[in-house]
Structure 1
Amino acid sequence: MSHTLRQRTLAAAIAAVFALPMLAHAQDATPPVDKKNVKQLEAVEVLGSRIRGAELATQTPTTVITAQQLAQTGLTSLGDILQQLTTSGSALNTKFNSAGNFGFPPDGSGVGSGSATLSLRNLGAKRTLILVDGLRWVNESSASGVSAAVDLNTIPVSIIERIEILPDGASALYGSDAIGGVVNIITKRSQDGAAVSYYVGGYDALSGGMTSTGTASLGGKFKRGEFFIDFEHVKQNAISSGAWSQSGGACVPGTGLANCSSATPTGRFIFVDPQNVTQDVTLNGAFPNGAVYPTDFHDFSTADRFNFAPYNLLLTPSKRDSVFASTRYQLTDNITWYLRGLYVQRHSTNQAAPEPIFLGPGAGTGGLADTVGVDVSNPYNPFGYSLVPQTATGGNLILIGRRPIEGGPRIFSQTVNTWEFATGLTGSFSWNDHDYYWDVNFSHGSNSATQTVQGTYNIAHIQRALGPLSQCTGNCVPLNLFGGPGTITPAMLAYIGYIEHDSSANDIDLYSANLNGALFTLPTGEVKFATGVESRRYSGYYQPDAVVVAGESNGVPSLPTSGAYNVNEYYLEANAPLLADKPFIEALNIDLASRYSNYSTFGGTTNSQAGLRWQVDKQLTLRGTWGQGFRAPAIGELYGSPARFDATLQDPCSAPIANAATAANCAALGVPASYSQPNPQISVTTGGNKLLQPEKARTLTWGGIYSPDWAVDTGWAQRLDITADYYRITVRNAIQALDAQTQLDDCVASGNAASSFCQGIQRNSTGNIDGFNNTLRNIGRIDTSGADLTVKWTLPEFSFGRLTNTFGATYINTFSEQTSPGVYGPRKPGVETNDSGIPRWRAVNDLMWSRGTWSADWRMRYMSGLTEDCAGATGFAICNGPGNTHYLGAVTYHDVRASWRVPLALNLVINAGINNLFAKDPPVCLSCSLNGYDASNYDLPGRFTYIQANLRF
């Protein structure tokens, strides 16, 4: 769909809203009321079943979050809100600042700074299915790849009526991706009049980060329909890493400069001199008039490393503007037409330290930079001879590392446009004394992104500027890497620098038709069914800058990606009452479902599930489900071109090696005894695989709901509801690359270059890794199990008001990730690794009070402690756990909020709150990529205070 056509489509949708009074969506449409049969009012559809029926609401462990509960969090991003679920795992959010500078993950998705995703059950965002009004939402694009996950920041919070969350596999009902769970976001259909809202908040202990939101909406009802229109503007300002001592004071807190970069403003030069002595030197300072070797140099040491931390961001700035229009019109008493459209534009930015220039075989890029040296004729060369990249046949240069701080930090700026349009018909009819409901739908979603990168360099120009002076002609300016900070002139920067332009897009077109109702009636009740068909087309592309495609970028290299595929699906679900009105069996129902999916990429797959609901009596309901699931390989995973990801790895062969056996294995692998890893980031080649097959999953859940009569209308409770569920999920044939650190460790442990672990790992003559193949394969397996508990206690109304307390907790019993047969990755309960710690316990307690025009909420969020490997912090005081580990203590956050309905003629409500009331700092994380803490699990340091005014008229 072209840009112009999208604009016209959205304009038509908005025009239709003003022209016709209508409602919102298809899947949850309330049928016309038949006054002769009020049972139709109970015929609702819930997330865990396609069949309408009020009793099905207790068949699966579904959580419902209302618009009021969303507001009580004091957050403006849907992703940030849902990541506070106890069933949620580590996922991308705007506290990450890693897009661009770390490269490309193996799944081809890129890294979307400014976006927020959801990972239910810690299984990854691509294994969580996101629906809006029952229809699939478009996946994000980040201008650095083609993602398989939804950016929740493309869905404005202001348009949400409620959210239904099913943390359970449901592929038999909804198809691919529904392994970790399903989220259905129900949009608002109508509103009585107009409303405006303004919100502003900020951090008291940090400089920056102010967030403001303004919304305006209009809705109404007419004789045969309703409509709703909403505008939202969200602005979030940046916070520099330098604003917090933990993130800005050192590369890894508590370890001095040990993990900082060897690319420094004074340079690092490793070469073999004419006396055949290996030199590892750096400048004593800045020498604007030219340095003299060896007088102006000294041996490089840890103290010379560069602290890149202050240049990063703690919070990425972004601005989101959206317009949403929804309308629904009753064509006849039994047929309704709906139409909705949404446009969201996001501008976001992330920042990294000035881009380092690494040259020579020690750079390990596997590209042009590994072959670049310095000619003797370069006017700034202080050595008096050429530095020629070392190979097996000769050469003397091992590594040059220079941080051109003169060029300023890297700035990654993204513009992301999301379009969504949906229309269809819903209806109902009666036949043979049974009620039937149907709907037909079409939706189109598009997410496109462009990115500009400032502060990056052209390695081909660097090569020319360092090479023979006779070849540096035209606009070429000889480059000075040997003068220290401040000696790379603006003219030099202008020649080696360029502004990078990248783009990507994801599109989905969906057609579906559904029918459900009753087949016949048994003495125990109606046998109900649901059936439907769905056809989808996915397409996407990623187009990097021409300089990047040519392999001439000093940054992370990549190639274009594009692809498309189709899927046609058919499903059938049936629910039958087996027993009713028996002793200890008030109702016993069985639910069976199966879905056949045919993909143009790999063929067909059938997935089924079975569920049992046993209502023992009015107080106790037991339930259980068993299901098959799958996840189809996404565009980036199938068609992703070879690209580079700069992973932070610890090479076991880097001197000094304390273990004699490891030293012997490294020698057997051809690593020189003097080898020292020059850079903690090792370039890993990633890419897709067209031969990938779908992932397969098995899920099992069982539990129950207990609402005791002895807690109804007593002196201490109006009602008490206790819900408990156990889950077990197994994913086989998982699409993933080998964990790079695990593979490297196992390779060294084998001491055999021919072992399966060493395949794809290449070292050059210096011992440095200059090739690491990490493309995707169907090699993984994930096993996880745990339990959820929810207790909702509604107290009777007292003279001081009404109290309600809701407690929810998730316990993760097991989580293991097998990256290849017999090899397990580091992720497990209670362990922090790669910015994705898995707390064994998560819990949230909400205490709510209301009285008259006042209400208040006190929310406590708890995460149990985590343990991580000390890695590069070994030997420092912070590494004080057993077995070379570091412990991240348990954390409890306290959020408070108060609301006051102002006693005026106007309908004005003032809300104010403080998140992280006691200013709890996140624990130090040694293995995390940036800023010294796990941004996927913990809040930013300090209090976040906000105030909001809502006016309806």
Structure 2
Amino acid sequence: MPVLALAQEEQAKTLETVTVTGSRIKRAELEGRVPVQTLTREDIERTGLTSIGEIVQELTGSGSALNTKFNSSGNFGFSPNGDGVGAGSAQVDLRNLGPKRVLVLVDGLRWVNESSASGVSAAVDVNTIPLALVDRIEVLEDGASSIYGSDAIAGVVNIITRRNVEGGQVTVHYGQYGEGDGQLGGADLSWGFNTDRSNLFLSLSYTKQKEVSSDDRAISAIPLQGGSSRVPGGRFAFTDPDGNEYDLTTNAGLSNPVYTPGLPDCESGVARTDDFHCFDFGTDAFNFARFNMLVTPSERLGVFGQYRFQFTENTSFYAKALFNRRESTNRAAPEPIDLGPGAGTAYTANVVIPANHPFNPFGFELVGGEGGNIGTIRRRPLEGGPRIFEQQVDTQYFAAGLEGSFGGQRRFFWDVNAAYSKNEAEQTNRGSYNSRNIATALGDPAVCAATPGCTPLDIFGFGTITPAMLAYISPLFRDRSQQELTQATANLSGVLFEGWAGDVEFATGYEYRKYQGSYNPDPQTVAGEYNGVPSLPTSGSYDVNEVFVEFNVPLFAQDGGSQKLDLSLAGRYSDYSTFGGEFTPKYGLRWQVAEELLLRATYAEGFRAPSIGELYGSQSRFDALLVDPCLVPPTAPLGSLAPIACPGVPVGARQNDPQIPVLTGGNPALDPERARSFSVGMVFSPAFAVDAPWSEKLDFEVTFYRHDLQGAIQAIDAQTQLDLCANTQASQYCDGITRLASGEIDTFSNFLVNLGSIKTDGWDVDLFWTLPETSWGQFKLAWQNTFVTRYEARGAGGQLQPQGPGIVVNDSAIPEWTSTAVLGWESSDWSASWTVRHLSEMEETCLAADPATYCSDPAGGSNTLDATTYHDAQVGYAFDVLKGLQLTAGVNNLFDEDPPVCTSCSLNGYEASTYDIPGGRFFYLRADLKF
């Protein structure tokens, strides 16, 4: 894991003038004015990981975010943020405020937001940035809108690219899980040269990650919340011409079932003797979990180059270019076919299966829609195979700029930059169905015969759907999305004048950005024919003009700078074409009390402009795991009553499926989010621990942070809205929730709004200790901790959302304590490290179908996720014989610690953004050769 570099920054060094993340003022000192965490190349290689997202997600201050452990297509549908599913991407979250509130920069310039062919996202996919080009990663965990503008509410991740490289380097790596799967391999090739006036750096990288199937681990091979009522033999609920109600499924193993008229219906309790039996959720439910993935496969190919040329002593030029391709895959269980009320499209909801249809076993017409006799028909056609979602994402980036300096003793530094970046994505969906063709193939045989390609469809029984039937109802679906970012900046910084306590420094500048984004689903989807998750096209654009100014004013200095008090001031005005102007200030104090002790504090106001997807995103759907309090739970005994009696819901009505479709989408009336951030901290480097027999250097750091976000853009938590509607029947919660005559939810509208507030605070406590070098080598210890003391989200009406410290909800965990300790050792040609990662215990609502087995407190309806500790080990050796060759071997999760069971998580039985996968001991080898 990375080592915080703040303490080292406290010692003033004579360096080339640089810009540190968190300030625009160029200085010859790295002073630690704000809490910046630096991940060096060495820190990155120590993790054994190959994705920037995975590396940053292991920081103690990181929150839950998408990564390749999320099999995020299929039933995930579209996120409630209106931005698609981010399939195959890796995002970054800081302070649990969400990836869209983290600004991602590359060499100080913004990176384009992701495209995953399913929406217009407000977050960056850092898998579009190859790890091979990274020199270091600087992470600012503080509000920085006044410095960088929108999106920097929770902090900034600034990826610094490699330059001034001399010669070539080849890196080859390979790893796999102890179970023999999830193979990860790749190679990086880089080369650079330097002259007196120029330097060039080129890199080529390739990484291939193979899948880990959910069926290969016990925790993920079964759905903990219970299986699906969409079963391979079909579930058929209908009323016959005599008014008898049936809820049938096909007996196992039979095809072309025979329905015998006059046999008992399912309300009588008498067993049937034909090829059908009464459906029972406990015994007939389908195991969809085994088709999912614990690790999704992907391939990434990246090419990067940058060239710098110095025209004069004071003026230089640079140009950069990048191309990156990511190919990834998600997989879900075979797509179900639903017919009758509540089905996904008008074609399937209003289907008519005539009595003369060659495969209708009932002998009378089945009619969907209002007044029809179909209650529900649900069939899981295994014949079509699982749904496969394949993404191809291409990223292009071009940047150029001039930079230089002028002046005499007081020098001024200037730069002008322009950059263009684009993400294009295409997703191909195999194994889904066209609902219009389904309705035609189940309809009038004469109409089907007159329709090119149509083959009558048999959904009644096991193995009844032939290849010819599939060819008609299962075409390919192709979705596309694109995002573009055009930006230009001009900056000036330097010393205004010499004040009574030192130089008064400043920075100022102008920035222009234009965002463009679009999402274009398959024409069949636009026409309302897609049997899966419906969506419509989205497109939009906006631009922004900004000016900023920043000052550093020394207030007091003594003893040659060993005692010093500085005031920093910053402000930015942003003019958006979508909503107008916004001003954000920031104030900071840095007090060098003594050489040993530094105190600092910051207060910042920030904002985040609504993104294209949030403003213009069309209506989409995601399937949420919800408990409907108005219905009897699906596994409850017959005769049970619902927890709450709701108007219009029949007594004893049962929730037949834990997955409820929830509609979401953008809102053009959204306002910006506004935030206030505060931090205060200290860095203590005691003199008694410098060059002592037991210590070469010891640094101790404590930081308190607080973020207060108002008008947060998100939808109210769906379960919270459903519970409040059931308990209060208030229109503000119940509007948009409609029910079928059976009592089950038909539509659930849950669109984006400016939610009430999110408030969070906590502490970072870090220790860094370098021991004296001996004949045994040298040891270094870095121990980092984050304690979340508050996380409180409230809706616009004041309703408390379920998230909080020590709670898991909606596939998102907020541990109260996250800790990482790294013990490093170097001796001559050898190096080694031992990393310990700890997550405190958490609680969740118990949603397991078998709570006695999977929940710690089934009577209380809760489950405890035990504290989890992972151990990682690595050893390396640099060869003298072949200089420049280093071999490194390591294992992550050395003791094969399984994640705690999460019954409320959507897939795979654990929380994928926080824990390693089950059966997760990962071995790897890496060879580095420099030439």
TM-score range, shorter chain: over 0.9
CA distance in 1: counterparts of 2:682 and 2:346, whole angstroms: 58
Give the aligned residue type for 2:320: R
CA distance in 2: counterparts of 1:825 and 1:838, whole angstroms: 14
3-state SS of paired residue (2:813): coil
* Structure 1 residue 656: Cα displacement: 5.5
- Contact 2:15 2:28 (C-alpha < 8 Å) held by counterparts: no
* Structure 1 residue 682: Cα displacement: 1.2
CA distance in 2: counterparts of 1:366 and 1:874, whole angstroms: 33
Give the aligned residue type for 2:116: S
CA distance in 1: counterparts of 2:762 and 2:256, whole angstroms: 66
Q: Is 1:950 aligned to residue 928 of structure 2? A: yes
* Structure 1 residue 584: Cα displacement: 12
1:14: which partner in 2?
none
CA distance in 2: counterparts of 1:343 and 1:462, whole angstroms: 42
Q: Is 1:279 aligned to residue 251 of structure 2? A: no
Closer, same or farther: CA 668–898 of 1 in aligned 2, 3 Å = closer
Paired residues in the alignment total: 900
User: Where in structure 2 are the equivalents of 1:294-693 lying within 5 Å?
Assistant: 295-301=274-280, 302-363=282-343, 365=344, 367-389=346-368, 391=370, 394-431=371-408, 433-473=409-449, 474=451, 475-482=453-460, 484-581=461-558, 586-655=563-632, 667-693=645-671
- Contact 1:736 1:780 (C-alpha < 8 Å) held by counterparts: no
- Contact 2:239 2:245 (C-alpha < 8 Å) held by counterparts: yes
* Structure 1 residue 729: Cα displacement: 0.2
User: Where in structure 2 are the equivalents of 1:210-289 lying within 5 Å?
Assistant: 210-248=183-221, 250-252=222-224, 259-289=226-256
- Contact 1:736 1:819 (C-alpha < 8 Å) held by counterparts: no
- Contact 1:895 1:917 (C-alpha < 8 Å) held by counterparts: yes
Closer, same or farther: CA 477–440 of 1 in aligned 2, 3 Å = same
* Structure 1 residue 276: Cα displacement: 2.7
Deviations 1:236-283 (A, max 9, x none): 0111111111111x111xxxxx62100111111112233433321111
Q: Give structure 1 stretches of 5+ with no counterpart.
A: 1-37, 253-257
CA distance in 2: counterparts of 1:85 and 1:656, whole angstroms: 39
CA distance in 2: counterparts of 1:808 and 1:837, whole angstroms: 19
Closer, same or farther: CA 613–518 of 1 in aligned 2, 3 Å = same
Deviations 1:300-341 (A, max 9, x none): 111100001111111110000111101100011100100111
Give the aligned residue type for 1:41: L
> Aligned match of 1:809 in 773, 782, 785?
785
> Aligned match of 2:72 in 89, 98, 120?
98
1:22: which partner in 2?
none
CA distance in 1: counterparts of 2:244 and 2:685, whole angstroms: 80
- Contact 2:332 2:387 (C-alpha < 8 Å) held by counterparts: yes
Deviations 1:63-87 (A, max 9, x none): 1110111001001111111100000
> Aligned match of 1:162 in 119, 136, 139?
136
> Aligned match of 1:50 in 24, 34, 46?
24
Deviations 1:653-681 (A, max 9, x none): 2226999xx96995442011132122221
Deviations 1:23-42 (A, max 9, x none): xxxxxxxxxxxxxxx99736
> Aligned match of 1:851 in 790, 803, 827?
827
Give the aligned residue type for 1:586: Q
CA distance in 2: counterparts of 1:786 and 1:54, whole angstroms: 32
User: Where in structure 2 are the equivalents of 1:706-785 lying within 5 Å?
Assistant: 706-750=684-728, 752=729, 755-785=731-761
CA distance in 1: counterparts of 2:531 and 2:662, whole angstroms: 15
CA distance in 2: counterparts of 1:873 and 1:486, whole angstroms: 28
1:838: which partner in 2?
814
* Structure 1 residue 706: Cα displacement: 0.3
> Aligned match of 2:181 in 208, 213, 237?
208
1:292: which partner in 2?
259
* Structure 1 residue 54: Cα displacement: 4.8
Give the aligned residue type for 1:65: L
Q: Is 1:893 aligned to residue 860 of structure 2? A: no
CA distance in 1: counterparts of 2:559 and 2:125, whole angstroms: 49
Kindly, what percent of the aligned residue pairs are identical?
50
Q: Is 1:796 aligned to residue 772 of structure 2? A: yes
CA distance in 2: counterparts of 1:149 and 1:791, whole angstroms: 32
- Contact 1:611 1:623 (C-alpha < 8 Å) held by counterparts: yes
- Contact 2:642 2:652 (C-alpha < 8 Å) held by counterparts: no
* Structure 1 residue 883: Cα displacement: 2.4
- Contact 1:908 1:952 (C-alpha < 8 Å) held by counterparts: yes
3-state SS of paired residue (1:89): coil
Give the aligned residue type for 1:528: E
* Structure 1 residue 690: Cα displacement: 1.1
Give the aligned residue type for 1:852: S
- Contact 1:670 1:767 (C-alpha < 8 Å) held by counterparts: yes
Q: Give structure 2 stretches of 5+ with no counterpart.
A: 1-11, 264-273
> Aligned match of 1:694 in 669, 672, 676?
672
Give the aligned residue type for 1:866: M
3-state SS of paired residue (2:446): helix
CA distance in 1: counterparts of 2:43 and 2:644, whole angstroms: 57
- Contact 1:686 1:776 (C-alpha < 8 Å) held by counterparts: yes
- Contact 1:716 1:795 (C-alpha < 8 Å) held by counterparts: yes
Deviations 1:521-563 (A, max 9, x none): 0121000000000000000100000110011110111000000
3-state SS of paired residue (1:274): coil
Deviations 1:876-895 (A, max 9, x none): 33223272101111111100
* Structure 1 residue 495: Cα displacement: 1.1
* Structure 1 residue 499: Cα displacement: 0.4
- Contact 1:516 1:531 (C-alpha < 8 Å) held by counterparts: yes
Give the aligned residue type for 2:37: T
Residue range with higher mean Cα deviation, 450-459 or 683-692: 683-692
CA RMSD of aligned residues (A): 1.8
- Contact 2:338 2:348 (C-alpha < 8 Å) held by counterparts: yes
CA distance in 2: counterparts of 1:874 and 1:404, whole angstroms: 27
CA distance in 1: counterparts of 2:249 and 2:880, whole angstroms: 71
3-state SS of paired residue (2:432): strand
* Structure 1 residue 866: Cα displacement: 1.1
Q: Is 1:117 aligned to residue 97 of structure 2? A: no
3-state SS of paired residue (1:57): coil
Give the aligned residue type for 2:205: E
3-state SS of paired residue (1:460): helix
* Structure 1 residue 167: Cα displacement: 0.6
CA distance in 1: counterparts of 2:90 and 2:31, whole angstroms: 29
* Structure 1 residue 53: Cα displacement: 2.7
- Contact 2:696 2:770 (C-alpha < 8 Å) held by counterparts: yes
Closer, same or farther: CA 268–289 of 1 in aligned 2, 3 Å = closer
* Structure 1 residue 585: Cα displacement: 8.2
3-state SS of paired residue (1:331): strand
Closer, same or farther: CA 621–409 of 1 in aligned 2, 3 Å = same
3-state SS of paired residue (1:472): helix
3-state SS of paired residue (1:120): coil
CA distance in 1: counterparts of 2:98 and 2:656, whole angstroms: 32
3-state SS of paired residue (1:820): coil
- Contact 1:269 1:399 (C-alpha < 8 Å) held by counterparts: yes
